[in-house]
Structure 1
Amino acid sequence: MPHYEVKHRSLLTLLLVLPSLIVLGTRLLLGTSLPAITATHWSGSAYPDGFTDTRVFVTVCISLAIGGAVLGFISFSLSHKPVLHSLLLFVGGLAAWTSAGLFVSCAVPSALAGDPTQALLSGGFTVLSIVASLVGLLPVWIAGVYQQHAKESQTKRRQRVAQAQGRDTSVPVANTATTSSAQGFNQTASASWWFWLLGLFPLAMGIVMLTVLKGDDESETLIMLISGPLFVLILTPLILGLCKIRVRITEDQVRVSSAIFAFPLRTISVNQIKEVRSEEILPMEWSGWGWRFFPGGSAVVLRRSEGLSFDLEDGKRFAVTIPDSQRAAAILHSKMNRV
């Protein structure tokens, strides 16, 4: 059974321990200003409608933070089981950071108000709790075990395909084609229908925030007036722009960009390419759908289809789904032989 290296152990340790320190540190800083009852739930109003005994709330939050850290540390010894390792690290990191964000966003407003029934949940605390949960996803991303496992799975799959076709695995498929390096390549690829719907979702949310929802107070209204344009002007072009991409090969580089809004996604010079292959791109082997980043590489994956897989000179990887990928790989191999 292969053993995968857990990368950045020092940073991972810090990320797993920090939530417990945040909960304990916040509790100590608040001291006697934290009332016996803590506001823990708000629904449609700036004022709370749910409360928890402070001692119980502190105990639950610190237990989740410590328990999450323990799960994360246990995952370090299970790197030879990448799925179980990733699951434990994901659950541990998410539990630890979510509990820390929840504690700060509930305890601090309660302490500032003195009377927990008057604790105001501002937009800043809401954003803080969301950001804390997102930070909880970083450990499994930073560890890099799943990425190593995916790379090994890709290699084994290529070997099985080559063996079934009776090919020598040391010879890339694209080398069997003869293509003039002067020939250009300019292709577009489109995502599945559900990805297009996902791209339209922030547009709809932004319109709803601007035209339908009305806050009960000025602060809530202000949050909606800020969030609405952000959804419309930033998230919509970013997600919708990934629904259709363009891959262009010029004289000395490969350029991947949005075919809708034309913003660049990745540019690779020919002299940066160590190896390039035409192969089937499986989303889950490249961390999912969309514009993906992971330790050791990145990818632009729209669907399960053919595409280009790059091994770069700096040891990183990149993949992009694009039709006619064999011809693209042949063109790149021709250019690489000239460098």
Structure 2
Amino acid sequence: MSGGGNRNRGARWSAAAWAAGVLAALVALPLGAGDRLPERVATHWGGGGRPDGSMPFWAVPLFPALLWTALLLVLALTARRATGPVRAWYGAVLLFTGVLLTGAQASIVHANLDRTDWTGAATVGPAVVLTLGAALLAGLLGLLAGRRGAAAAPAPARGPVLDVPVGERFVWLSWTTNPWLQLTAAVLGLVAAAAAIAAAGGLIGAPWAVVAPLTVVAAVVLGRSSVQARVTPKGLEVAFGPAGWPVRRWPIQAIESARVEQRTPAQVGGWGYRLSGLGTTVMLRRGECLVIHPRTGAEFAVSVDDAERGAALLNTLAAQRTGD
């Protein structure tokens, strides 16, 4: 598989942006509401929904920030030695813990807002349920994305790749990531998250007219920031985004031929998923593209590394299927 370096760099940048964003939220939430919080802040609630534990104000941003930093250090120190299946859990841990700590911090700030004493803090029961649900969902998405990335790791090539005897099964896999699109998605997502967290903490009114569009745009950009092309005896499969969805598939019998072509964003009308006189092009980086010519419909091109080998394998498989 080609493009592994791009994917790894993209994953590292995404993790770094998430780590920095969570740390900023944990510190900024209580500091931003400092003049509206009591000197001691309620941080624990008993079974009856009444606060039964507190911290001095200075400890409210410090304590969760230290917990988050310690988790990041542990993951950073163990990441290099981790195997694919173990690494698949790293994203899940980062997402679950980040959402859990941030949600808990927002709940604490909101419950203590404009209270003269911590004993009069509001209950946090519903917020805890929502936070836990969101954290579990985020962790599950991180685990699924991590397992998909680990499963995509290729075995070393053995022998000529294009010498494909009938009945044998060969797979070609290539991945391309656009770090600028990932960074754009991360910035939009962090702005939306910051607005939502500030609203949950009671610092601002609910800015859903801003949060919802930013969230949608961030998700769309993220889903178009990476692409994986996979050739199997069944045909070509092109999956988008870190979760590998949506997916476009062409059965091998539907592909007349495949080739390699040099393309630029100017030729196809820009970056991302583009429609032009050349057909459909997934343009994440200029240069080498795998281009297929279907038996019906417009041509499809995707900018991935090692496109020549993918095209050759598609042509070999198509010839075997038609008996040419």
TM range (shorter): 0.3 to 0.5
Bigger relative contact order, structure 1 or 2 (CA pairs below 8 A, ≥6 apart): 2
- With the length of structure 1 as denominator, give the TM-score of the two structures: 0.41
- With the length of structure 2 as denominator, give the TM-score of the two structures: 0.42
